[in-house]
């Protein structure tokens, strides 16, 4: 058996202790342990340790080190169980150690995926422009169960979704654009889909932010029409007119606006 010959406090970490032992060839550094492990096993000078005891001490110390890592990780913000597991896995810890740490953290209520999901939805709804589908996807990536996600999304009611999405639509239409209103609406729709809003909410937004043809769209057709004119400048008469109309119509401009633009061209 090996005998503990000396125990000293680490200079850089007062909560860890260096254990020196004599394995029959004189004193040498053996290992270090956390203060809790030192107390749990009542380690002291002159104590004899067999192989089984050493294995158990190392295992408990690994759990303590992993626990301290997890608590430090949790101190920055609330985490899901999967986030903590992924973090500890990156530290090359053994699975039994990670399992013990997760079990302990759950017992201390440091991990609660239901509460995490609720807090996450509330934060995303109040601080970002993300829709429920995007938030749901992010929760799935964090390992949250479907039932917890469904319950948590009640923190983001449809009225709030519409309010946020309408603000996005109003902000979008305030930006100068060289596109037709039809194309702008299509782009806004795609943007809202990417942000995770439902088709129902998007249709309400498009109605709420409906804008009639105005001078800005007239400027847009002049811009697009100029580009198309350069493409078909070699054509004349009916053929030129048809190609211009078809191209501008595909760009989302109304027949009335196209006629107005072509009329302007003839007079210029």
- pLDDT by residue (tens digit) across 94-150? 999 999 999 999 999 999 999 999 999 999 999 999 999 999 999 999 999 999 999
pLDDT of residue 240: 86
pLDDT of residue 259: 83
Pairwise CA distance, residues 241 & 228, whole Å: 11
Could you tell me the two tokens for 163?
């309010």
Residue labelled with tokens 């150690």: 97
Distances (CA, A) of 180 to 223, 226, 242, 262: 10, 14, 19, 16
In terms of Cβ atoms closer than 10 Å to its own Cβ (0-12, 13-18, 19+), residue 216 is: middle
DSSP three-state, residue 9: strand
Domain 215-267: CATH architecture, name and number where available: Orthogonal Bundle (1.10)
Give the residue extent of every domain in the chain: 1-49, 215-267
* Number of neighbouring beta carbons within 10 Å of residue 48: 10
Provide the greatest CA pair distance for the chain: 108
Phi, psi of 24 (to 5 degrees): 110, -5
DSSP three-state, residue 236: coil
pTM above 0.85, yes or no: no
Residue labelled with tokens 């811009």: 223
Residues in the chain, pLDDT under 50:
none
């Amino acid at each position: 058996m090996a005998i503990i010959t000396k125990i000293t406090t680490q200079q850089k970490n007062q909560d860890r202790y260096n254990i020196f032992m004599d394995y029959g060839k004189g004193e040498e550094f053996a290992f270090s342990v956390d203060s809790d492990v030192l107390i749990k096993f009542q380690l002291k000078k002159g104590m004899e340790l067999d192989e089984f005891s050493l294995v158990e001490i190392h295992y408990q110390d690994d759990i303590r080190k992993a626990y301290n890592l997890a608590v430090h990780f949790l101190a920055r913000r609330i985490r899901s169980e999967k986030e903590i597991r992924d973090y500890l896995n990156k530290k090359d810890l053994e699975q039994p150690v990670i399992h013990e740490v997760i079990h302990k953290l759950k017992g201390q209520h440091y991990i609660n995926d239901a509460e995490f999901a609720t807090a996450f939805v509330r934060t995303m709804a109040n601080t970002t422009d993300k829709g429920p589908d995007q938030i749901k996807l992010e929760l799935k990536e964090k390992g949250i169960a479907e039932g917890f996600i469904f319950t948590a999304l009640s923190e983001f009611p449809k009225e709030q979704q519409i309010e946020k999405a309408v603000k996005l639509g109003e902000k979008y239409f305030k930006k100068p654009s060289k596109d037709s209103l039809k194309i702008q609406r299509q782009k806004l729709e795609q943007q809202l889909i990417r942000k995770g809003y439902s088709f129902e909410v998007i249709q309400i937004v498009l109605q709420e932010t409906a804008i009639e043809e105005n001078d800005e769209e007239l400027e847009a057709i002049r811009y697009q029409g100029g580009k198309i004119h350069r493409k078909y400048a070699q054509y004349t008469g009916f053929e030129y007119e048809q190609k211009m109309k078809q191209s501008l119509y595909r760009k989302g401009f109304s027949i009335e606006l196209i006629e107005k633009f072509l009329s302007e061209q003839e007079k210029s």
